[in-house]
């Protein structure tokens, strides 16, 4: 089976079995999504969704967040991972958002990455989810299962995975494909105990077929 054929089969299965695939983070606008994705780094979406309602009520706009102190923000997000660093990044992000972008979340990966605490993955998520741009965000789930399935080969870092996936996934479905792979890695192809017995992709999975042989 060629890599192209593997992609076609796997994407076809997702399209048929998971036609709707969306972010599990709760948000109402680009600013809220940006904050939520920043908080989700090495933290579960479930935990983020627990802390953001109060955070957004206290700081409904970037201008409100820009006026806050790190300590004030920390009081709302102390239960997420790395709360001290994230509190500082959130305040600095909001300040630059107001100073440079007039409080509007930029719609390009390059500009988003000029904001404090915003890396390539976060920028890709925001551009894909809000503006449906063909930006493939690679987190630990996607990095892991892309290699297991055989969608990538000997990828050493998220950027290499991103490039290999973008080579074979049509640009029009990259935003949805990100969620397909993410959710599959989160609930089925888990790190320690992949649920192969429940997986509909085993027929085309490189790791599964290698193990079966």
Per-residue pLDDT of 56-111, as tens digits, reads: 999 999 999 999 999 999 999 999 999 999 999 999 999 999 999 999 999 999 99
Q: Are 152 and 166 in contact (CB under 8 A)?
A: no
Distance CA 58, CA 138 (A): 31
Q: Are 91 and 68 in contact (CB under 8 A)?
A: yes
Q: With a cut of 70, say whether residue 197 has pLDDT above it.
A: yes
Condensed to tens digits (0 to 9), the pLDDT of residues 143-195 reads 999 999 999 999 999 999 999 999 999 999 999 999 999 999 999 999 899 99
Residue 210 confidence class, pLDDT cut points 50, 70, 90? confident
Q: Are 62 and 91 in contact (CB under 8 A)?
A: no
Indicate which residues carry an active-site annotation.
Answer: 121, 139
What are 165's two structure tokens? 């996936």
What are 26's two structure tokens? 């709760």
* Other Cβ atoms within 10 Å of 129 Cβ, number: 21
Distance CA 18, CA 36 (A): 24
Global pTM reads 0.92
């Amino acid at each position: 089976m060629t890599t192209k054929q593997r992609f076609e089969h796997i994407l076809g299965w997702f399209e048929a079995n998971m036609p709707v695939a969306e972010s599990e983070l709760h948000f109402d606008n680009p600013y809220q999504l940006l904050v939520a994705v920043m908080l989700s780094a090495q933290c579960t979406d479930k935990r983020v969704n627990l802390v953001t309602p109060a955070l957004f009520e206290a700081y409904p706009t970037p201008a409100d967040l820009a006026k806050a102190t790190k300590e004030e923000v920390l009081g709302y997000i102390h239960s997420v991972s790395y709360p001290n660093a994230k509190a500082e990044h959130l305040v600095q992000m909001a300040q630059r958002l107001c100073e440079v972008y007039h409080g509007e979340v930029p719609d390009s990966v390059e500009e988003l990455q000029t904001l404090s605490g915003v890396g390539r993955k976060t920028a890709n998520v925001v551009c894909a989810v809000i503006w449906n741009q063909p930006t493939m965000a690679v987190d630990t789930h996607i990095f892991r299962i892309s290699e297991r399935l055989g969608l990538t080969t000997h990828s050493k870092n998220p950027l290499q995975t991103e490039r290999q996936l973008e080579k074979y996934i049509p640009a029009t479905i990259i935003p949805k494909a990100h969620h397909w792979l993410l959710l599959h890695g989160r609930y089925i192809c888990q790190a320690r105990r992949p649920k192969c017995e429940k997986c509909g992709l085993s027929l085309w999975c490189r790791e599964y077929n290698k193990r079966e042989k």
